[in-house]
Chains A and B, each alone.
Chain A
Amino acid sequence: MSSLTLDAMVDATGQVVMFIVIGTGILQNSLYILQLVLAISELSKRPPEGRLRLLWRRYADVSPHISLLVPAYNEEKSIVESLRSMLALNYPKLDIVAINDGSKDGTLAAMIEGFGLEPVVRSFEEAVPHKALRALYGSPRLPNLIVIDKEMGGKSDALNAGINLSRAPLVCTVDADSMLETDALLHAVRPFIDEPTRTVAVGGTIRLANGCRIEGGRIQAVGLPSSLLALFQTIEYLRAFLMARLAWSRLKTLTIISGAFGLFRRDVVVAVGGYSHGTVGEDFDLVIKIHRYMYDCGHDYTLTFVPEPVCWTEAPESWRGLGRQRSGWQRGALETFFRHRDMLFRPLYGRIGWLGFGHMLLVDVIGPPVEVVGYILIPLLWFLDFLSVEYMLAFLALTFIFGTFISVGSLIVEEIELRPFPRTFSLVVLTLVAVVENFGYRQICNVWRLQGYWQYLRGQQGWGAMTRLGLRRR
């Protein structure tokens, strides 16, 4: 009798676990499908603009002044070329603030030599906190370039220094090892022109440069990476940027603007205290702080995402590097979520509290452990004969088919609207990769996310060493 009861209890537990796992999976995947539909709708409403001359003619006269903030740490080999390509961007009112964040190599010396810089004095407002500045450098030949040399304080600290030194109404944060499209700023500034008082921040599509031909700090030909790991990431970036961020932007609940490229109203960034220290998700945290501030003040505002590719970055091509990146992202998401947890489901924060934080709860907080538990428990319960084969197959089918459908869907949308890959063969390869990524890669990513969980619980700081080949050294 007691054995029968125990069996019944285990059976019931198995059913509950299975329903939770499958339910969470269905909810997540339904969200992805909703995102895909919203992204399609947004793109059809507002098709991307392509031609530089047209953009210039339409927007150059009314484009606000932008300060490009470029934090650099140990970038001696590429910083001069990076800054040269940024100085050559097509934008009418642009200055560049490069921040040497206590590099241990010759980053500063390279900039001084490359641009003929000399020490300068510049009046600035101590609006947001950062570590001490050592010196400022400028050149009469390049009045729109200023270089800050400061003590090491991390990316957020460097960006805060740049915000203080900038005098433009808009600041654009860019990674020193990223490459911008020549018309990136003209694309990204468009929401600030269309809705100048409501728009407080704009994010843009980040694409992977692995496999592309790069000359003179510019992408000359778009191609696919040869490494399988980079191919997986290409699909992920298409999904994350074109589908997810566009959809959240449409719902007015964009909660992240990538640290690799983001355009912000300076006064709003200053009002929220700039970038936070002590988090690896400083870009995520800044956007949430902006939402909180705007809701608290009762301002009518919007954060927008532009679908046009604006920035190219390099994906890690080693398992170790990718693992570090992903666990760091997960840790950053958890740090931000728990730092602002009082916003969750709070009516005061409207859509952000319900949709934005609800999504974070589901995807970043509950999602990874539940998915991994599912991968472990469902075969185990099936093996112990507490789960029918039909249920297990249903779970696997749902997970894999949804995943493939969403990836291929975002590929199709991107191809229709933006035509990112000139060769049809590239699309065939990516479609295959979208199928293959469900068998192994997705599960490994979940393990990395659990590592991020563990690091968060242990209070680990920093990213660790990230090995990249260097875009301009390819």
Chain B
Amino acid sequence: MVAHGKVRTRLAAAENLVWFQSPDTRRALLAALEDPTDDVKLAAAASLAEIGERVPVAHLLQARPGNGSESSRRLETVLVRVAKHQTDDLICVAGDRSFPERARVAAIDALARTGFFHLVSSISHLAEDRSPIVRAAVARGLGVLAHPDSGEAIAKLIHDPEWAVRAEAAEAAGRAGLTTFIDRLSVLLCDENWWVRFRAGEALVGLGGNGIEALRCVASSAEDRTARMAAAVVLAERRLA
């Protein structure tokens, strides 16, 4: 059924084969990785990961229509499932510019969700990638891992020319508990972009006593009106004013 019939049937078969573990199942799922329909292919990959089989990640991404430039977000589900067992494969995908940006982003997100602290350095290496969405994913990933060793990379990302990267980096600093970033985050309260100001304010709150004190200081005495307002509203929203 996974090889023939309508898309709906093939998809359902690829999803449900996970309950029938056997060599035949493995063969059928591997064959389904060549299915012309994205959904079926991804469902087969997810099932393979679920039964503990190695998923040929690079092949899966290369064989995608349009080389995965507009791939379904279900790819993220597959990569999250394989991340714990195929960490090296995902590190390769994340760092290889020949893969589509979205696939690299999905790989970084999946790596971060493993919670393996040793991945901090692998992810941090990508902080100067030329793609802004990859850099944003790096910042987000470091925030998810929330390890103090990520400070150096976050310090670079917090001054990124792209606002989306700065916003992610600000949030990551808060989540990683980097109290040494209080001054940097305070500066971001007068960023030109609202999201950056907002994330910086939230991060300062997340840093606890010293961060909140810095926010109060900015709210009461900063020269920049935007920074004052940003700090005051965040404090009021958290009922800390």
Contact = CB atoms under 8 A, between A and B. Distances in A.
Contacts of A58: 15, 74
A194 B102 CA distance: 13
Interface string B62-105: 00000000101110110010000000000000000000001000
B70 A198 contact: yes
Most buried by B among A57, A61, A198: A61
A196 B73 contact: yes
B174 interface: no
Contacts of B76: 61-62
A120 B241 CA distance: 12
Contacts of A62: 73-74, 76-77
A123 B234 contact: yes
Given A120-B237, A196-B102, A197-B102, A125 B77 contact: no
B75 to A, nearest CB: 9
B144 interface: no
B36 to A, nearest CB: 13
A121 interface: yes
A123 B195 contact: no
Nearest to A47: B8
Given A123-B230, A123-B233, A193 B194 contact: no
Interface in A181-203: 192-198
B72 A194 contact: yes
A193 B70 contact: no
Contacts of A474: none
A123 B231 CA distance: 10
A193 B73 contact: yes
B144 to A, nearest CB: 15
B181 interface: no
Contacts of B80: 61
B8 A123 contact: no
Interface residues of B, number: 23
Nearest to B197: A123
Interface string B188-203: 0000001100100100
Interface string A222-251: 000000000000000000000000000000
A123 B74 contact: no
Interface string A94-132: 000000000000000000000000001111010100000
A123 B102 contact: no
A273 to B, nearest CB: 16
Given A61-B77, A62-B76, A62-B77, A123 B198 contact: yes
B32 to A, nearest CB: 16
Question: Which 6 residue pairs spanning A and B have beta carbons closest together?
Answer: A121-B236, A125-B194, A62-B73, A123-B233, A193-B73, A194-B72
Interface of A: 46-47, 57-59, 61-62, 120-123, 125, 127, 192-198
19 contacts: A47-B8, A57-B15, A58-B15, A59-B74, A61-B80, A62-B76, A120-B237, A123-B201, A123-B234, A123-B237, A125-B194, A125-B195, A192-B73, A193-B73, A194-B39, A195-B70, A195-B72, A196-B70, A196-B73
Given A61-B80, A120-B237, A121-B233, 4 more contacts: A47-B6, A123-B230, A125-B195, A194-B72
